[in-house]
Structures are given as structure tokens and as C-alpha cells.
């Protein structure tokens, strides 16, 4: 019988330590998607604070004077409703599904707490960072930062913002 090193011997209930380490590294701060947004904002002339640990969810990019902040979310980790977000690993599917469901629930809690505290929140998704989407993203960021009210996870600028409650 042939045995290949590429063939897993048996299904695992949780990812290996090595895979966990890699996944943690992928999630860590200063991810490439976040850096893309930061560079873009910087080029647009905006200045910001990073990773305010005192705020729910330690938002990636914070504009204290404007009372606005931005999360840059990986589509997989944060369960985005897009092709990339739906791409679940074949191995340990249940493990990842429940982990991501917890992330989504936690994100919703953070969002609610931030809005309650009077912050405007924009979520920029990884799938919005493609080079061909750059003009749309630039417009989205500018609208978010310059408008008085902006919906969370905003569609492009034409939709009217929700009235404050
Ligand atoms: Zn996405």
C-alpha cells in the first residue's frame, strides 16, 4: 500500500499547533489589509491613531477628533458575506465554522458598544482592497470621514445614511 506524506493519517478535531501559530500570526496587528488602508488614508492626508486598546474591539484605525473609527476585517475571519468569506477550509470545517461564528458575534457586540458610545464605525473588508477597487475605496473612506453620518459597512455613497436614533 502506498503512503504519501501529503495524505493526512486521520481527521483532527483541532488544527495542529503549527497551523494555529500561523493562523494567529495571520490575525495579528499590522496585517497587510490594514496597512493598505493606512497607506491609502495617509496618502489622502488623514492622520489617525492605531489600535486603541481602551475601546471595544481595539479598533484598527481611530480618528478621535472626528469620533470615527475603522476596522479592517479579513473576510474569512470575520465571516463576510462574499466569495472569500465563504471559502471554508476543508479540514476541521466544524471547528472553523464555530470559531468564525464566535468572531462574528463578538464583532457585533463591539459594534453595538462603540455606537452606544457615540462612535461612527466603518468596516472595510479585505475584498474591497483589490487594486481595481481602489477608487471606490478611496471614495468610501472620504465619504465616511467627511460626512456627518455614515452607515456602518457602508454601501457606496449614494444611499442615504440612517437617521440617528
Ligand atoms: Zn469579503
In the chain, domain spans: 29-146
Residue 158: pLDDT band by 50, 70, 90 thresholds? Answer: very low
Q: State residue 22's pLDDT score.
A: 58
- The proportion of the chain whose per-residue pLDDT surpasses 70, expressed as a percent, equals 71
Instruction: Calculate Rg over the CA atoms of the chain.
Output: 18
Residues 6+ apart with CB under 8 A from 114: 55, 56, 57, 59, 69, 121
- The proportion of the chain whose per-residue pLDDT surpasses 90, expressed as a percent, equals 52
Going from the Cα of 77 to the center of ligand 1, the distance in angstroms, rounded, reads 10
Q: What is the CATH number of domain 29-146?
A: 3.40.960.10
Going from the Cα of 6 to the center of ligand 1, the distance in angstroms, rounded, reads 30
Mean of the per-residue pLDDT values of the chain: 80
Contact 75, 127 (CB under 8 A): yes
pTM for the whole structure: 0.70
Residue 25: pLDDT band by 50, 70, 90 thresholds? Answer: low
Specify the higher pLDDT residue, 113 or 24.
113
Going from the Cα of 123 to the center of ligand 1, the distance in angstroms, rounded, reads 11
Measured CA to CA in angstroms, residue 133 lies from 32, 57, 72, 136 at distances of 16, 26, 15, 5
Residue 2: pLDDT band by 50, 70, 90 thresholds? Answer: very low
| pLDDT tens string 10-24 | 444 556 666 666 555
* 68-73: strand order across its sheet: 49-50, 61-63, 68-73, 120-125
Going from the Cα of 10 to the center of ligand 1, the distance in angstroms, rounded, reads 32
Measured CA to CA in angstroms, residue 81 lies from 74, 122, 158 at distances of 11, 16, 21
Sign of the torsion formed by the C-alpha atoms of 29, 147, 121 and 63: positive
Residue 165: pLDDT band by 50, 70, 90 thresholds? Answer: very low
Amino acid at each position: 500500500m502506498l503512503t504519501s506524506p501529503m495524505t493526512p493519517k486521520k481527521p483532527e478535531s483541532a488544527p495542529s499547533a503549527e497551523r494555529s501559530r500561523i493562523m494567529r500570526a495571520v490575525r495579528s496587528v499590522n496585517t497587510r489589509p490594514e496597512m493598505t488602508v493606512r497607506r491609502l488614508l495617509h496618502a489622502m492626508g488623514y492622520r489617525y491613531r492605531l489600535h486603541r486598546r481602551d475601546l471595544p474591539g481595539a479598533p484598527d484605525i481611530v480618528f478621535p477628533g472626528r469620533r470615527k473609527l475603522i476596522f479592517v476585517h479579513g473576510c474569512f475571519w470575520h465571516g463576510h458575506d462574499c466569495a472569500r468569506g465563504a471559502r471554508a477550509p476543508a479540514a476541521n470545517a466544524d471547528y472553523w465554522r464555530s470559531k468564525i461564528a464566535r468572531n462574528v458575534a463578538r464583532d457585533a457586540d463591539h459594534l453595538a458598544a462603540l455606537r452606544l458610545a457615540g462612535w461612527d464605525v466603518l468596516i472595510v473588508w479585505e475584498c474591497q482592497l483589490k487594486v481595481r477597487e481602489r477608487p471606490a475605496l478611496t471614495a468610501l473612506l472620504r465619504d465616511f470621514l467627511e460626512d456627518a453620518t455614515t452607515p456602518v459597512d457602508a454601501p457606496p455613497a449614494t444611499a442615504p445614511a440612517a437617521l440617528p436614533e
